[in-house]
Amino acid sequence: MASDGGYAAFPDPSPPGVIVGRYRITGRLGRGGMGTVWRAEDELLGRQVAVKELLLDDGMPDDERRGRRERALREARTAARIKHPHVIVLHDVVEQDGSPWIVMELVDGRSLAEILAKDGPVPPREAARIGAAVTGALHAAHAHGVLHRDIKPANVLIENGTGRVVLTDFGIARVLGSTTLTEAGAFVGSPEYTAPERMSGQSAGPASDMWSLGVLLCAAVRGQSPFRRDSLGGVLHAVVFDEIRPPVELGPLLPVVTALLERDPERRMSAPEAEERLRGYADPSNVSTLPNDIPAPTKPPPTAPAVPTKPRRRTPLILAALSILVVGALGAVALVQHHNAGNSPALAATAPGRAAGATAKTTNPSPSPSRSPATATAGSTAKPVPAGYRLVVDTKGFSLAVPDGFTRSYQPPRVFYFSPGEVFRIGIRTAAPGHGGPLAVMKAQHVDGPGTFKGYRDGFVTETTRAGNPAALWEFTWDGFGDGGGARRTYDLCWTEGGRQYDVWVSSPVAKAELGREYFDSARDTFQPDQNQN
């Protein structure tokens, strides 16, 4: 059955009649935990509206009924404060037979959740358009001190004909500084889309809504949240602890989503920056940023390599909270300790240029007789060599895994490993530590980026660590070498270890950025310096 007004339709509407002598109910549009949404005709003004009825149980205690009524009034006050083209318009709030009713504009369209369920995932450009609109709505809400706290596809409506995007259902929104009206220990929101700080019982802020936006974008291009699991405990574990694997279908949207899915809210991308970047991606004329020829997969491909995270210790308290959540006790999320600061840096990149006249030669050095390259030294964090790769022990004092078929070229001060045709490029450099450490080095290159790389864009630097050592990640897109290969996406990790500074980067075409990131992940994870040469 087709939906009506942007809400999932239900059979047998059984309309309650006329509300306050003015709003004639003509059908039921949808129902959620907070109430039922009805289609109605405003007989005074002669227009169609949506009317939300708060569900009140006659058997509930009086104080709970009062709390429910107050929540409805709060939703009305919240929505009324926000004037934005992508926020649902509130017309009226009335009370009949002791129950509040909220009268809103009727959006003639479907929710994003229904679009995904019936039509499948949307292309990256459409996801960017939807995301930019939602981000603008969130920016307006945050400017009024309002957090939405329930960003998900079901609360994003797409108007028929115009394609207008509307953020709705501020039913669990919270005004910053106010006291929540939920019961003590209760949890409001959709766990798959909820930020880790909220799942861990920490205070929420505007950044929490931005995390949810990042998950929404993943769901838009993949059809479901990357944190979907078979149990509530599994969802909690995925959001708070598991490696974050954004879907490869994001394509060039990956940098924005990666910056939104930072577990540390202080590092998360802000609404103004996200809106600007998403609008740029959504612009049809911006072909270099978001090409239209990204193929839509006929079946779900494997997820992208994980955003690097540190291993986290599972304490008995966390395990106890998880076991409680598995049996449905949502209030237990507040017991989970917060271990997330700095644990989900965005992937980073650089795009060093190709040395003029470079020629590549194949080398696959034999392992030193004193140490097998496949055996990690004491204290090493290097991971096993993945299938389709080979381990090389380079004469410049390091080893790492490179894809089969890549060839080596030494162009001082870097060692390069090129794919056939130099489509993908891995670069390694060792040097004395730079002034201020890796973060200062990467930030300086980021600042110089527009003057160094034609079409420099989407650059950002994230402070992180590697094997407990200071590190920084840098990622950006640029227009490429001018050889017909098009725009390139590049990834870079710079860190200090054993008195040396190491720099490992991968450069790839934008259209193949997910494969480039896989090469980067493998190079980063398997890299091992030869401390004997330091």
SS3 at position 358:
coil
Q: At what angle do helices 124-143 and 206-222 cross, to 10 degrees?
A: 160
Buried b (16+ CB within 10 A) or exposed e, 86-97: bbbbbbbbbeee
246 closest CA partner among 265, 267, 224:
224
Burial of 33 (0-12, 13-18, 19+ CB in 10 A): exposed
What are the beta bridge partners of residue 110?
A: 158
- Within 8 A by CB and 6+ apart from 442, the residues are 348, 461, 472, 473, 474, 492, 494
What are the helix and strand counts (H, E) for the chain? 11, 21
| Structure tokens belonging to residue 2 | 């087709």
State both tokens at 103.
Answer: 């009268």
Tokens of 269: 């991308």
Among 4, 150, 169, 503, the active-site one is 150
- Beta strands 389-394 and 500-509: pairing type? unpaired
Tokens of 323: 């076991």
- If one counts every other C-beta atom within 10 angstroms of the C-beta of residue 484, the result is 6
DSSP string, 436-500: THHHHHHHHHHHHHHHHSTT-EEEEEEEEEETTEEEEEEEEEE---SSS---EEEEEEEEEETTE
Q: Calculate helix-pair angle for 316-326, 232-240, nearest 10 degrees.
A: 140
Q: Is residue 150 among the annotated active site residues?
A: yes
Cα 265 from Cα 278, distance rounded (Å): 20
Catalytic residues, by residue number, are: 150
